[in-house]
C-alpha cells in the first residue's frame, strides 16, 4: 500500500471572532491532515489550539492537557503556526525566522506608510511511519504587490520587499533540502503563480481550477515533493479558502 501525507494550509483572517476562528480550524482538522500551517493566527487564539492538542513552547514543555490530536508550535513573533498529528509525527524542534523587518511601504492604507515585519515558522519532525525527517515551513508574505499577474509598477518598495521575502523563503527551503529532509512549504504568498525551486506547487497543471482568494487567484499553496494525488479547497468563515493536499511519500 502506497504511503501518503495530507498537508493543509489555511489563512484564518485575524479579524474573525473566536467562534468563527474555531469553525475555520475545525473545518480543516476534520479531514485529519498530517501537517498543518496556519496564517494570521496570533497568540490570543492559543486556547483554540489546546482544544485540539497541545502547544509546544519548548522541546520538553507543552501547554494543554490533551496528549492526542495535534502538537502545535505558536511562536510569540509572527502569525504563522504549524501543527502535526501526534500519532504520525514527533516534533524535534521549531523556530521562527525573519523574512523581513519593519520598513517603509508604498501601500496607501499602511499606517504612517510603515510595513510590519514578516516571519516564517520552521518545524522539524520525525516520521513515525517512515524512516525520514520532515521539515514544515509556514510563511505569510507581504500583500498588495501584484496586479494583472505581475509586480505592481506603482509600488516598487513593496515589490522589492516581496522579492526579498521570497528569496529568504527559498533559502530556507534550500537549507532543509540540503539536510536531506522531506520539505513542505505552505502558506499565503500574496502572489498568484509563485513557485519555489526544489518543490512542486499544488497548483502545477491546475491553472483552470478555482482560486483560494477570489475566483482565480491561487495565492495559498502547499509546495512539496512531486505532483499531488489530489488538491481540495475548503470554504470557511475566513476570506481565504483553505487548501488540503494529498501527496504520495
Please give the Cα distance from 52 to 34 (Å, whole number).
13
In this structure, are residues 71 and 84 in contact, taking their beta carbons and an 8 Å threshold?
yes
Among 180, 188, 190, residue whose Cα is nearest residue 138: 188
pLDDT digits 0-9 by tens, 74-118:
998 899 999 999 999 999 999 999 999 998 888 778 777 788 899
Pairing, β 150-151 against β 182-188: unpaired
Q: Beta-carbon neighbour count of residue 156 at 10 Å?
A: 12
Residue with cell 523581513: 100
pLDDT of residue 141: 98
pLDDT of residue 2: 60
* pTM as predicted: 0.95
Query: Which domains does the chain show, CATH number per domain?
Result: 4-248 (3.60.10.10)
pLDDT of residue 66: 64
pLDDT of residue 65: 60
* Residues in the chain with pLDDT values less than 70: 1-2, 57-67
Burial 226-245 (b: 16+ CB within 10 A, else e): eebeebebbebebebbbbbb
Rg, Å, the chain Cα set: 17
Amino acid at each position: 500500500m502506497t504511503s501518503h501525507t495530507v498537508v493543509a494550509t489555511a489563512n484564518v483572517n485575524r479579524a474573525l471572532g473566536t467562534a468563527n476562528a474555531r469553525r475555520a480550524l475545525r473545518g480543516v482538522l476534520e479531514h485529519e491532515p498530517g501537517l498543518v500551517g496556519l496564517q494570521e493566527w496570533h497568540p490570543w487564539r492559543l486556547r483554540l489550539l489546546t482544544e485540539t492538542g497541545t502547544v509546544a513552547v519548548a522541546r520538553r514543555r507543552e501547554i494543554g492537557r490533551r496528549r492526542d490530536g495535534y502538537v502545535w508550535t505558536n511562536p510569540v513573533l509572527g502569525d504563522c503556526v504549524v501543527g502535526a498529528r501526534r500519532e504520525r509525527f514527533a516534533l524535534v524542534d521549531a523556530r521562527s525566522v525573519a523574512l523581513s523587518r519593519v520598513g517603509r511601504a508604498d501601500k496607501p492604507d499602511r499606517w504612517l506608510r510603515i510595513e510590519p515585519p514578516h516571519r516564517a515558522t520552521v518545524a522539524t519532525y520525525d516520521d513515525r511511519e517512515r524512516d525520514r525527517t520532515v521539515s514544515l515551513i509556514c510563511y505569510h508574505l507581504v500583500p498588495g504587490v501584484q496586479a494583472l499577474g505581475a509586480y505592481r509598477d506603482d509600488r516598487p518598495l513593496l515589490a522589492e520587499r516581496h522579492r526579498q521575502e521570497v528569496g529568504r523563503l527559498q533559502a530556507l527551503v534550500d537549507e532543509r533540502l540540503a539536510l536531506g529532509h522531506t520539505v513542505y512549504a505552505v502558506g499565503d504568498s500574496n502572489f498568484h503563480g509563485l513557485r519555489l525551486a526544489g518543490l512542486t506547487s499544488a497548483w502545477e497543471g491546475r491553472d483552470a481550477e478555482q482560486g483560494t482568494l477570489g475566483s482565480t487567484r491561487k495565492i495559498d499553496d502547499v509546495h512539496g515533493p512531486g505532483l499531488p494525488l489530489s488538491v481540495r479547497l475548503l470554504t470557511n468563515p475566513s476570506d481565504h479558502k483553505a487548501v488540503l493536499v494529498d501527496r504520495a511519500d
